[in-house]
Structure 1
Amino acid sequence: MGGLLEKLDRIDRRFIYLLMALSVLVPLAFRLEMPIPVSPGPSMDLYEAVDALPPGSVVIVSYDYDPSTMPELQPMAVALTRHLMSRGVKIIATALWPQGASLAQNALTQISDSLGLSEYEDWVNLGYTVGGAVSVVRMGSSISAVFPRDRVGVPYDSIPVLEGVGRLADISMVIALSAGDPGIHAWVMVAQGRFGIPVGGGCTAVSAPEFYTYLGSGQLVGLLGGLKGAADYETLLKRDNPGAPGGTATPGMAAQSISHLVIMGFIVIGNIAFIAGRKRKRGGAK
């Protein structure tokens, strides 16, 4: 036993790196999915709020993040887009972050193509606007004043999906996917606080606690927090639509969980080997 512990204490760090890499790559490569229990809470609240929207409703989805937070927020964007489009809800994509418009386009075209929907008839990407909360305030009186054209230059008034949509009061819900400021705070303070529009959110796991007060006050109808929130949403989608394609958050949670178990295992082994080695040294000294 002592010899085994001595070997474990001297394990080559390259073996640890290899095992860590495999614990992440194998679940992702084989799309391993672990059960994701979804209990009543912010994720389910947002899902139910979206599910209650009647077909033909118009929703703003604001992509307020950049590639650095894609692993957590892009799976949310894809799952939410699939849910909205499959229910016949029209999507107006906006971005308060410069790179958000491109990330929005990726999610929108991916799901739109798979469902046979068309840009400008079922959804539109208005692109990025500078100004943060000030732009949201201006949208309360005129969306076209903030976005006179979409991201590729098509005039606002010539886009069919925007017919009858002049200001925030014409929107059924706003969903803000946020990696910081401007983001959820701006939409809650202005769209919900000033104009009474229901607002849902998605954010990185580390920033989720700062939005819990909005949930408690009813200013957010629901919230997806980090990769777990995205996996919750994917699980709820598959529960109600068994044939729906899976997303990337659920395999991501499997990879994350397995890698955490591997790390914990090495921590336990390292501590056992260290304590046993110290006892041997004390015994030898006597």
Structure 2
Amino acid sequence: MNFWIRISDLDRRWIYLLMAVAIILPFFVNITIPIRISPPTQALYTYIDTLSPDSGPILISFDYDPSTQGELTPMAIALLRHAFSKNLHVITMSLYPTGIGIAENITSDIAKEYNKIEGRDYVVMPYAPGYQAVILSIGEDIKNTFATDYYGNRTDTLSCLNGVKNFEQIPIAISISGSSTPYAWITYGYTKYGEKIGVGTTAVSATSYYPYLRTKQVAGMLGGLKGAAEYETLIRKFYHTKGRSMATIGMNSQSMAHIIMIILIILGNISYFAIRKQNKRSA
């Protein structure tokens, strides 16, 4: 009985410390917690995995800002690692003025991991205003949409874009966003030009895109940090990837915290009923 009383009177600071350790530990210790692959993640991975370097460049649009970077950046990194592991050419861009810097930083960092060269293996496009107009313009001629890349090089001189005019030479466009921007890619990219669209979105927004997945208007989707962790799991299984799997680490931290919370809730309830039972006997 003394044990349950001590549990009931436990100083909450010990709980805070325990939660902090549970959250921080996966960043320093390799903890393996199984991750089940969801069908939307598997669909996006499978489609990209069927592509070859001759299929044309894939397009990844970083349609988000720093407020959702923690949840969305890991999926962008996972997609880039998959593409570079397969030696696919990549076009990155952003329909957000605050997103283009994120796109350039991440693309160039992951490209260095795989010794990819800007202009030959990948190209980063500059920001252009009016996202509906940008998508429609890419559908007509991407080199007219972006006369120069992010670094000021003329796009018609880049070997990465040789033979690439519009969506017909781009096998898939993936919008990573925490807002409604993927709807524009579906409305204008898929409906008007028949472009395959992939979506990466925050967990809270993921359910909005399931109707589009069922009707095949979206080829696949990564939903939140879990979707990014699922994609990391797939590329680790089939490819030798470099760098840390931050989504997997983040999910492990969440899982550890949830396990600790469940255990504490169970112990708290047992303590309550045990003490109440003892008090009734004493009375």
Post-superposition offset of 1:283: 5.2
Which letter maps to 2:219? V
User: Unpaired segments of 5 or more residues in structure 1?
Assistant: none
User: Equivalents in 2 of 1:172, 1:37: separation in Å?
Assistant: 27
Report Cα offsets for 1:130-158 as digits up to 9, x if no partner.
22223212222232343232223323323
Report Cα offsets for 1:60-109 as digits up to 9, x if no partner.
11011122222221111111101111212111111012222222223222
Which letter maps to 1:216? R
Give the TM-score taking structure 2 as reference length: 0.92
| Contact 1:93–1:127 (Cα < 8 Å) also in 2 | no
Moved more, 257-266 or 30-39: 30-39
Q: Secondary structure at the match of 1:224?
A: strand
User: Unpaired segments of 5 or more residues in structure 2?
Assistant: none
Does residue 1:269 correspond to 2:263, yes or no? no
Partner of 2:128: 129
Two-structure CA RMSD over aligned residues (Å): 1.9
Does residue 1:250 correspond to 2:248, yes or no? yes
Partner of 1:45: 43
Moved more, 220-229 or 100-109: 100-109
| Contact 2:199–2:222 (Cα < 8 Å) also in 1 | yes
User: Equivalents in 2 of 1:13, 1:129: separation in Å?
Assistant: 51
**Residue correspondence of structure 1 range 140-155 to structure 2 within 5 A:** 140-155=139-154
Partner of 1:35: 34
Q: Secondary structure at the match of 1:140?
A: helix
Partner of 1:90: 89
Does residue 1:236 correspond to 2:226, yes or no? no
Moved more, 158-167 or 223-232: 158-167
Q: Secondary structure at the match of 1:124?
A: strand
What is the count of residue pairs matched by the alignment? 281
Post-superposition offset of 1:237: 0.8
Runs of 4+ in 1 over 6 A off after TM superposition: none
User: Equivalents in 2 of 1:20, 1:129: separation in Å?
Assistant: 44
Partner of 1:104: 103
Partner of 1:180: 179
Partner of 1:60: 59
User: Equivalents in 2 of 1:99, 1:260: separation in Å?
Assistant: 33
User: Equivalents in 1 of 2:114, 2:220: separation in Å?
Assistant: 26
User: Equivalents in 2 of 1:282, 1:133: separation in Å?
Assistant: 70
Post-superposition offset of 1:189: 1.1
Partner of 1:203: 201
Which letter maps to 1:209? T
Partner of 1:72: 71
Post-superposition offset of 1:248: 1.3
Partner of 1:117: 116
Post-superposition offset of 1:278: 4.2
